[in-house]
């Protein structure tokens, strides 16, 4: 009986660790996605501003 309980607790612990790591991974993925989106938006703004500046100086 004691071994069965020990095995059950080990399985529950492993499940808890796996669940925790999955949540951390998802949070890191979301943060990375947000940083990349901000960097992309900044690059697009810079390109748009550069194009507008070039067009205004050409006239």
Q: In angstroms, rounded to a whole number, what is the distance separating the alpha carbons of residues 6 and 20?
A: 21
Query: Given this model, what pLDDT does residue 59 score?
Result: 60
Counting other chains too, the contacts that 3-10 makes at CB distance below 8 Å and 24 or more residues apart are: none
* Average pLDDT rounded to a whole number, residues 5-27: 97
**Does the pTM of the predicted model rise above 0.75?**
no
* Average pLDDT rounded to a whole number, residues 3-19: 97
């Amino acid at each position: 009986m004691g071994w069965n309980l020990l095995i059950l607790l080990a399985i529950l612990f492993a499940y808890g660790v796996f669940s925790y790591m999955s949540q951390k991974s998802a949070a890191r993925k979301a943060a990375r996605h947000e940083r990349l989106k901000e960097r992309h938006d900044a690059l697009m703004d810079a390109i748009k501003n550069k194009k507008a500046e070039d067009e205004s100086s050409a006239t």
